[in-house]
Amino acid sequence: MTALTLSTAGAATLRADVLVVGVAKSPQGGKGLVVAPGAEAVDQAFDGKLADVLETLGASGADGEVTKVPSPAGLKAPVVLAVGLGQAPEKDDETYSAEALRRAAGTAARALAGKKKAAFALPVEAVEDAEAIAEGALLGAYAFTAYREKGKDAKGPLAEVALLGAKPRDKAYKAAAERAVALTEELNRARDLINTPPNDLTPEAFAAIATAAGKEHGIKVQVLDERALAKGGYGGILGVGAGSANPPRLVKLAYTHPKAEKTLALVGKGITYDSGGISLKPAGHNETMKCDMSGAAAVFAAVVTAARLGLEVNITGWLALAENMPSGSALRPGDVLRMYSGKTVEVLNTDAEGRLVLGDALTRASEEHPDAIVDVATLTGAMVLALGNRTFGIMANDDAFRTAVHEIAEEAGEQSWPMPLPAELRKGMDSPTADIANMGERMGGGLVAGLFLKEFVGEGIPWAHLDIAGPAFNEGGPYGYTPKGGTGSAVRTLVKLAERVAAGDLG
């Protein structure tokens, strides 16, 4: 686990393995590199020619670019690492965006795997900048090594991040650092869960991890096993889990604050492995399906983060956990399930299972009359086709709430896009046998799934659905602070939403 310290030392005098500085492309119309604020002492050590040296080595200041140079006399760190920030601000009174700083810090931290200490001398004009740099560095330093043999050639993550330019004795900076540590530790735990092989992360194992975290952080945890689910009539969760030797679970995490005036419910899809069931996924589509519990991981991480930060809001997290497998006892196309709400569902495709477990969890969450509900799920390939691999879709039963969640996601640094719920698509889920089918029109499949979920949300409760199928699991190369594999998508959005609710900013 990477440590974070706020340092009052100057960039030239701090002892570290590497000194990280920022460089950028000149403002529109200009030529050459710009050395970003925070690196003045470093530039001085290069006799004001740091930009020239870096340009000679091919640096352009582009986002994600890393250039290393030996330090000259006058710097305690033996190596300077220049990381690209993209385009420099056009005007003197403009600053680099939080996301640009976050990505640059993450890029640098990834490049420094195996180092003991790095000093980050990136632009810090305000508390928000320091927090963004801390977040990016701590997320970028992430590595999942639990299943790798430890050897002399293995590089662990960067051990310590020393953040320069912050004010260690200032309460606001200290609070920002504490928030960054809590958030990134829990987001990285979510990444660990997503990356864990499904033979080890069964529904029962996930529930046990949640229970242990609850005890550690003062969160009440209730676990419904297969017997309790059957007694309670949770037909959706039981139906999806019927084909697996590892029975399903519904986990409730309840964080409360004595001064809280609002309650937020978070619901996460937790399919610990999705084979598709009887509607089996073809080869090439099932190898990464351990990530189908990313929504539950995000909800779990958000609730624990809220507890660690002591947010003045009540939060219930619902983890709908099951394994979708084919067997003689598995759910079949044509079966009809009676959901926890009492509504019946004709199952036309067993690979549209996420909406079934979420339906039960949404109904149960609605019974407690929260002020708002947000569900998170790797729900549809259709959303990936619509928005790509880095953007999640947001649907809601309330336009104002959808807009608020979208703005919060953007502020948190997560790419998202508001999507509609066209009423005309509902007819495609009409069933001659049951109240509703779990499939509808093929075109607009992500929106159809959202309309299905809407059926299980309590009357009058603002609800939003985040389809994170694209950004939840990165099959390409790492970039910025995003690793290959599980990303922890939506965690930052949920935590920022909880903070807004605690502050009374959402009504």
**Positions marked catalytic:** 281, 355
Q: How far is CA 111 from the centre of its chain?
A: 22
Q: Which residues, other chains included, contact 468 with Cβ-Cβ below 8 Å and sequence gap of 6+?
A: 294, 295, 298, 376, 377, 378, 392, 489, 490
The CA distance from 221 to 130, in Å, is 34
CA geometry: angle 308, 314, 317, nearest 5 deg:
80
Instruction: Enter the tokens of residue 76.
Output: 């305690």
For residue 318, list its beta bridge partners. Answer: 252, 267
The CA distance from 272 to 248, in Å, is 10
Q: Which residues, other chains included, contact 169 with Cβ-Cβ below 8 Å and sequence gap of 6+?
A: none
Instruction: Enter the tokens of residue 32.
Output: 């050459």
Q: Nearest CA to 221 among 185, 259, 255, 265? A: 255
Q: Are strands 392-396 and 463-467 parallel, antiparallel or unpaired?
A: antiparallel
CA geometry: angle 99, 500, 218, nearest 5 deg:
105
The CA distance from 58 to 46, in Å, is 17
CA geometry: angle 217, 220, 226, nearest 5 deg:
125
For residue 252, list its beta bridge partners. Answer: 222, 318
**What are phi and psi for residue 495, nearest 5 degrees?**
-65, -45
DSSP 482: B
Q: Are 2 and 112 in contact (CB under 8 A)?
A: no
Q: Are 299 and 494 in contact (CB under 8 A)?
A: yes
